[in-house]
Chain A
Amino acid sequence: MKQFVNTIRLGFFLAIRQVTRTSKWTTGLIVFIMMLTFFNLVATSGFLVGIVEGASRGFKEQWTGDLMVTNRNENTYIEHTSEIESVLSSFPQIESYTKRITAGVKIEANWWEKRKEEDANTVSNQIAGIDPVTEDATTHLSKQIVEGEWLKPGDARGIVIGSAYLKKYSRVADLVSLLEDVKPGTTVRVTVSSGGSNFNPEQEFAEKQEETSSKSVTQDFIVRGIVDSKVQFVSSRAYILDSELKKMLGKSDGDVSEISIVMKEGIDPYIVKTPLMNNGFGEYAKINTADEGAPEFLVNIKLFFSIIGTILGSVSVVVALITIFIIIYINALTRRRQIGIMKGIGVTEFAVEFSYICQALFYVVVGSGIALVIIFAVLKPYLDANPIDTPFATIVLVAEPANVAFKFLLVVIVSLFAGYLPARLIVKKNTLNAILGRND
């Protein structure tokens, strides 16, 4: 035991001096390489997952909330909505919630200029009847207004239109019929089918058109604003007051199609979901957390990116291993003679090897430490505040402390082996040959 302690002590003594008294440029370069390696390990997978995370956050923040209650497939609306609402009201952990009635819709602009049916400036999709105050408190959609303004309470003639309805904003303008020359102040003609709509995100535009074919009610609205979001479901809707849509649908009860619920910071949505399910509301509605209710394509992309991230992460670990191995090997090889001298004067092989393990740990810990500071003190806060804007999602950097800590631990363990192995290769060589600079 005493021998082991002496060995560790001397190994540490030698390592400190070798690191601090070697060329500062060399040490800096090695630390820089290790910093890049660890940064690559964390940031590459972090950005990949961040693409999906950005999209997921968009869905959660602008549509589903932490928990979403929707109608069952066989029903148009959520049955017993008022009872569900009274349960929700009993939870102080809920920050806010909003109710929506949805229906299929056809919106037409410039209908007075139309000479024949093919010239019609129309679009068919979905309309949501909302309370603009609770909707904005829950999903903050007013922040997504790119033209005009968000609906005001009591504005019975106002409508906010999703950017996906407008040719000006759409990226599929040539493929489907979209509205032209519509801006805040434009009057549009809204026709809803009184049968309601069971909203399915994967529905095609064409299917929606069929929904508006019978029992239709038409009313003119004035466009108050255009809402544009990366969340396609948000941009693919028009929004009017819930009271107006109920009138058009001839609906007198309080049942709605969707309830999006936002929990207070750090509160688990299962605190609400579990009692709702236990009280049997699962029979009248689908109750899903944001993750459970994520669209299938998002789940698949998340899985795909997770696999890609794991592969790239594994490659990064191997690169880290090889990098440290080469650095330590070259370092030990250039000191082969000194290693021989140390062995010659009675320094144990493991003391020499431990000094190289310490050096590898130093490079990894300092390099990774700098990378951690850059990631958590600079890059992540910056990207959280200024996400990378792409056409399909707002990308953030996902770097969960537990996950990063695991990667750090992984790199440290790798560095132990990558420091030991090359040192062992050199140290085990014949002592006298090492001292005399002869080949074994």
Chain B
Amino acid sequence: MKTIIEVKGITKSFTDGLVVTQVLKGIDFAAHEGEFIAIMGRSGAGKSTLLYQMSLLDNPTSGSIKLNGHPVDNLTNSEKTQYRLNELGYVFQDYSLLPELTALENIMVPLLMQGVNIQNTKKRAMDVLVGVGLDHRSGNLPSELSGGEQQRVSVARAIIHKPKILFADEPTANLDSFSSRQVMDIFKKLNKEEGLTIIMVTHEEEYGRIADRIVRLSDGQIVK
């Protein structure tokens, strides 16, 4: 299987005055196309930091990253933005929907940015909403949706542009168990039926076990 993410020796340090904190201490990691990987570990282990480096939301202090075979270390900010738009999808812990946009409009944003015409954008957004079981809530603002519904809209937004990799940072952390299972079912379906590569950070063993592989981090290093 093709390697879609290749991380070699990345470190990440934060400096606060004279204090330097090293969060990632030389991580080597690879993910193959169509894999569903759960990154787990205790709080402060560096799970989310690793996700941010791989998903081009942050720059590692050292080391290299290849996505889909291409080195991404030297991309400019605008090239990274373009890459995120076309190749990556994100699901954040707290849903991160735009409050002035309806569920449908939130999902439309990536396609509009890609230049898809408005009719096609609406149609595809509606199809994705149907897929996550929220077509009846398309006209609702995020404030009118439950946490579980918001997270499903967030998932819909993350996949509408058919990304190669979906990054999810603690997607069930703020959800009740029923909503969490709904989100995880969607992830499983996307992975199994559409072959979407998913990298998910979670601290919940139950949902980690759904993944094909669990990568455990401790103190900035992969331990298993």
Q: State the A residues within 8 Å of B (CB).
A: 2-3, 5-7, 9-10, 13-14, 17-18, 21-22, 337-338, 341-349, 351, 431-432, 435
Contacts and interface: CB of A to CB of B under 8 A. Distances in A.
Given A17-B100, A18-B100, A21-B100, A343 B112 contact: no
In the A-B complex, list the 10 residue pairs whose CB atoms are closest, starting with the nearest: A346-B85, A6-B115, A21-B100, A341-B96, A346-B84, A432-B57, A10-B112, A17-B100, A432-B58, A18-B100
Contacts of A10: 109, 112-113
A346 B141 contact: no
| Of listed A2, A5, A346, A431, residue having the most chain B CB within 10 A | A346
Contacts of A9: 112, 115
7 contacts: A7-B113, A18-B100, A338-B99, A345-B85, A345-B90, A345-B158, A346-B84
Interface string B91-118: 0100010111100010001101111000
B78 interface: yes
Given A9-B115, A345-B109, A349-B81, 20 more contacts: A2-B115, A6-B112, A9-B112, A10-B109, A17-B105, A18-B100, A21-B101, A341-B92, A341-B96, A342-B109, A345-B84, A345-B89, A345-B158, A346-B81, A346-B88, A347-B109, A348-B78, A349-B78, A351-B113, A431-B57
Contacts of B100: 14, 17-18, 21-22
Contact of B81 (A6, A14, A343): A343
Contacts of B88: 346
Contacts of A349: 77-78, 81
Given A341-B98, A432-B52, A6 B114 contact: yes
A309 to B, nearest CB: 41
B159 to A, nearest CB: 11
B137 to A, nearest CB: 16
B113 A344 contact: no
B212 to A, nearest CB: 25
Nearest to A338: B98
B177 interface: no
A322 B6 CA distance: 49
Nearest to A3: B115
B82 interface: yes
Interface string B144-171: 0000000000000110000000000000
Contact of B113 (A6, A22, A337, A431): A6
B113 A346 contact: yes
A21 B141 contact: yes
| Of listed A3, A5, A13, A18, residue having the most chain B CB within 10 A | A13
Contacts of B58: 432
Interface in B62-96: 77-78, 81-82, 84-86, 88-90, 92, 96
A143 to B, nearest CB: 59
B81 A13 contact: no
Contact of B110 (A21, A338, A345, A431): A345
A337 B98 CA distance: 10
A255 B100 CA distance: 80
Interface of B: 52, 57-58, 77-78, 81-82, 84-86, 88-90, 92, 96, 98-101, 105, 109-110, 112-115, 141, 157-158
Nearest to B89: A345
Given A21-B141, A435-B57, A435-B96, A344 B115 contact: no
A121 B21 CA distance: 102
B82 A346 contact: yes
Contacts of A435: 57, 92, 96
A115 B63 CA distance: 117
A107 to B, nearest CB: 78
Contacts of A431: 57
A351 B110 CA distance: 12
Contacts of A343: 81
B113 A347 contact: yes
Contacts of B96: 337-338, 341, 344, 435
Given A5-B115, A338-B98, A344 B84 contact: yes
B161 to A, nearest CB: 8
Contacts of A351: 113
A431 B112 CA distance: 20
A2 B115 CA distance: 7
Given A6-B113, A338-B98, A341-B96, A348 B57 contact: no
A358 to B, nearest CB: 13
A435 B57 CA distance: 10
A14 B102 CA distance: 11
Contacts of B77: 349
A330 to B, nearest CB: 16
A349 B78 CA distance: 8
Given A432-B52, A435-B57, A342 B114 contact: no
A90 to B, nearest CB: 68
Contacts of B157: 345
Contacts of B141: 21
A2 B105 CA distance: 21
B151 to A, nearest CB: 14
B107 to A, nearest CB: 11
Given A6-B115, A348-B78, A342 B85 contact: no
Contacts of B115: 2-3, 5-6, 9
